[in-house]
Amino acid sequence: MDRSNEVVATAVRWFEEVWNQRRKETIDELLDESSVCHAEGGPVVGPEGFRQRMYTPFLAAIPDLFVTVEDAVAEGTQAVVRWSASGTLCGPELGIRPARQAVALRGITWIHVRNGKLGEGWQYSNLGEVLASLAQSTM
């Protein structure tokens, strides 16, 4: 397998195992200790930061979250993943009153892989737009 294929496989494995299969151990297997995820709300550092600031709150708010990798491409040690996600907002962890409404998210994640682990990533999604819309509808 060439390097670009390995990078894509690592990125897709992240989405499938961490988000869809809820394999918490994959966080430590694939996320470098000094990793930085640039996302809404500021940088998230390392596996523990990811668990505390993203993984646990997100799955508490949307427990049936399912992510679909729509496309993934790589060049060298970098991959870009276009994804969609769906689920039901059930908890207040994302900052709005739980609406028990379906949510549909779309995003792009740019990942830099170092030594087989995710070293740095940039996350762009419509999460803010979706939450603002839900907040308006629950008023």
For range 61-73, the mean pLDDT: 98
- Give the amino acid at 33: E
**Residue 4 pLDDT level (bands cut at 50, 70, 90):** confident
16-20, 62-66, 69-73, 114-118: which range is least confident on average? Answer: 114-118
Domains of the chain are: 3-137 (3.10.450.50)
Q: How is residue 40 annotated by DSSP?
A: T
How far is residue 58's CA from residue 8's CA, in Å, rounded to a whole number? 24
- The pLDDT value recorded for residue 21 is 99
Helix ranges (H only) for 42-139 are: 46-50, 56-61, 127-137
**What percentage of residues in the chain have a pLDDT greater than 90?**
81
Residue of 16, 14, 17, 19 lying closest to 32 (CA atoms)? 14
The reported pLDDT for the residue numbered 136 is 82
User: How do strand 66-75 and strand 101-114 relate by DSSP bridges?
Assistant: unpaired
DSSP-derived secondary structure letter, 15: I
pTM of the complete model: 0.91
pLDDT band at 139 (very low <50, low <70, confident <90, very high): low
Region 91-115: mean pLDDT is: 91
> Residue type for 138, please?
T
Q: Find out whether 92 and 65 touch, Cβ atoms under 8 Å.
A: no
Predicted confidence (pLDDT) per residue in 27-45, tens digit: 999 999 999 999 988 999 9
pLDDT at res. 94? 87
* Residue 37 exposed, middle or buried by CB count within 10 Å (0-12, 13-18, 19+): buried
Checking if the pLDDT of 99 tops 80, the result is: no
List, in order, residues 6 or more apart from 45 with CB less than 8 Å away: 34, 35, 36, 37
